């Protein structure tokens, strides 16, 4: 750890020195940062990860020119908590993107949720301003839709996209369609000014988002400004969509069409960086917010490769993500790193690239990956898997210990909602919440990536892993200060309709006179 810390300090000093020298010469330093965040894309969706149709040539080439991470994780098996973790470098349990309503419940921000990213959190674009960056988000924000949670109030200079996913269409009376914004101005709504044909899957949104990215890069290059582009598109989130030239072109159906258009778009972004002569001054990272949504498979969901289950679960398929780092001239080509990585590392690594230090007044869970990216170093660190405010599992090295197992409820399962279709592992993929805190289920992910064969409780291997895991979890819980939960409360007045289950719950609170009626979110 001391060697890693020294290497990190040395790199920061080098970045600061280079920035000072190059600023004098008028060169755009520090490096540009481009984070490409997909929505519900699975670990097994790219050719470089073994997808048999091999329909992602640009992303495969990106991996061949950079570094591939086979063991990279989201911070949550659901969209908005994972995005909050990326931009704060902190687990959702710390930054408030979780719920305490019922045990181990996932929670997110549909229109009726009134919470969002707290002002007390320092987001990446806000901190990058100190190093002269101009920042833009393209696509899905998902950190709150009320005015105080707007991206431009949290460090971004530009925004084109939506506060939520492209759900709908709705009736636009009792429940309006979801808005699309350019900065502060609402420029239309999904299914209206921004049409999505649910029958054919045709939508031009990915092309619009691509053009927004290309135009932003060109403008910042002309201004000689370092920039941060957060390209958070949602074509691979059900209902999946693609533009007409890509529809019907994939062996994988409509979901594959969406992936092919994403791949083509990433290729165009990397080509522009090369053509502008700024590829060697641009750090690009590609990943996803959570695993493939198998509940939407096979037509509307992706592949998690050999891993168990998918989105909404804390099995590997729910949180292990595709991940590629690209920085020509700095990251040696064709590398594969077995560093345990996290989406929160993008926060810390981006600050390091900018010559900045993370905030010192709070716990930052993200690791600086520069020693890994530039020198191939590996750092021991745990990966924590949360659902709601419940620690479900932890991974150390190749070992993963489950303290709780659960897919989804019997009620949902009987309605046809299945987070693990075709993957029934007795005693593991349970539809009741099973506690294993005294004797966790432990798997060796190298030998058993599908989490099918728990290590014997009586083995020396189990006892060794248990002792190490117990200590790590004790230290984690001892230092944990949960943030104020942002996803507990729904507001029936926000959309002028009652969220499913609110009437049945019967637990509406009596708010201050100036606040509309609130209802505890039951899911």
Residue 183 annotated as part of some ligand binding site: no
d(CA 442, CA 444): 7
> Hey, what are 388's tokens?
């709601």
Enumerate residues 6+ apart whose C-beta is below 8 A from 252. Answer: 53, 55, 259
Compute CA 398 distance to the chain's CA centroid, rounded to the nearest angstrom: 22
Helix (H, G, I), strand (E, B) or coil at 160: strand
450 contacts 306 by C-beta, under 8 angstroms: yes
By three-state DSSP, how is residue 219 classified? helix
Helix axes 79-88, 345-353, angle to 10 degrees: 30
79 is catalytic: yes
Residue (of 353, 326, 125, 136) closest to 223 by Cα position = 136
39: annotated binding-site residue? yes
Catalytic residue among 79, 309, 490, 502: 79
Q: Quick check: is 420 catalytic?
A: no
Residue 171 is assigned to a ligand binding site: no
**Structure tokens that stand for 379 in this block:** 């750092």
DSSP assignment of 253-264: -HHHHHHHHHHH
The one catalytic residue among 122, 142, 154, 237:
142
No. of helices (H) and no. of strands (E), the chain: 13, 22
What does the alpha-carbon distance between residue 70 and residue 449 come to, in Å, rounded to a whole number? 12
Burial letters for 63-88: b for 16+ Cβ neighbours within 10 Å, e otherwise? bebbbbbbbbbbbbbbbbbbbbbbbb
Cα atoms in the Cβ-side hemisphere of radius 13 Å centred on 100 = 8
Is 40 annotated in a binding site? The answer is: yes
Binding site for Ca(2+): residue ranges?
A: 39-40, 79, 289-290
Active-site positions read 79, 142
Binding site: residue ranges?
A: 39-40, 79, 289-290
């Amino acid at each position: 750890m001391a060697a890693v810390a020294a290497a990190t300090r040395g790199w920061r000093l080098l970045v600061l020195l280079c920035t000072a020298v190059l600023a004098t010469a008028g060169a755009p330093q520090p490096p540009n940062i481009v984070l490409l965040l997909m929505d519900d894309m699975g670990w097994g969706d790219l050719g470089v990860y073994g997808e048999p149709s091999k329909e992602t040539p640009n992303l495969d080439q990106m991996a061949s020119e950079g570094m591939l991470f086979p063991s990279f994780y989201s911070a949550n098996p659901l969209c908005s908590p994972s995005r909050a973790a990326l931009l704060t470098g902190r687990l959702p349990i710390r930054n408030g993107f979780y719920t305490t309503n019922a045990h181990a419940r996932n929670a997110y921000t549909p229109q009726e949720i009134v919470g969002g990213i707290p002002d007390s959190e320092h987001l990446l674009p806000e901190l990058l301003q100190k190093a002269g960056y101009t920042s833009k988000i393209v696509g899905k924000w998902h950190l709150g839709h009320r005015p105080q949670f707007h991206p431009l109030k949290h460090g971004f200079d530009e925004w084109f996209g939506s506060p939520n996913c492209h759900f709908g269409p709705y009736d636009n009376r009792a429940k309006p369609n979801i808005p699309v914004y350019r900065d502060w101005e609402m420029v239309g709504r999904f299914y209206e000014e921004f049409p999505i044909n649910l029958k054919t899957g045709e939508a031009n949104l990915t092309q619009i988002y691509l053009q927004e990215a290309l135009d932003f890069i060109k403008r910042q290059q002309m201004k000689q400004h370092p920039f941060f582009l957060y390209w958070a598109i949602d074509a691979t989130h059900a209902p999946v969509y693609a533009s007409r030239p890509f529809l019907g072109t994939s062996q994988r159906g409509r979901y594959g069409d969406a992936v092919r258009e994403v791949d083509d778009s990433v290729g165009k972004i990397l080509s522009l960086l090369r053509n502008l002569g700024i590829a060697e001054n641009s750090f690009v990272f590609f990943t996803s917010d959570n695993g493939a949504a198998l509940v939407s498979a096979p037509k509307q969901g992706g592949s998690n490769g050999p891993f168990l289950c998918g989105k909404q679960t804390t099995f590997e398929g729910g949180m292990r993500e595709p991940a590629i780092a690209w920085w020509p001239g700095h990251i040696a080509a064709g590398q594969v790193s077995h560093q345990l990585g996290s989406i929160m590392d993008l926060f810390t690594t981006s600050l390091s690239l900018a010559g900045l230090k993370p905030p010192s007044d709070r716990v930052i869970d993200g690791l600086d990956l520069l020693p890994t990216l530039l020198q191939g170093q590996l750092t021991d660190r745990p990966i924590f898997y949360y659902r709601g405010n419940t620690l479900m599992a932890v991974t150390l090295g190749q070992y993963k210990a489950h303290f709780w197992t659960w897919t989804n409820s019997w009620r949902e399962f009987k309605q046809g909602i299945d987070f693990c279709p075709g993957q029934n592992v007795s005693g593991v993929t349970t539809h009741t919440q099973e506690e294993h805190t005294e004797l966790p289920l432990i798997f060796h992910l190298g030998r058993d990536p599908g989490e099918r064969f728990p290590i014997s409780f009586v083995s020396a291997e189990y006892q060794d892993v248990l002792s190490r895991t117990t200590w790590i979890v004790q230290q984690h819980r001892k230092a944990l200060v949960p943030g104020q939960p942002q996803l507990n409360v729904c507001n029936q007045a926000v959309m002028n309709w009652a969220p499913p289950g609110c009437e049945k719950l019967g637990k509406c609170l009596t708010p201050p006179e100036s606040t509309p009626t609130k209802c505890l979110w039951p899911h």
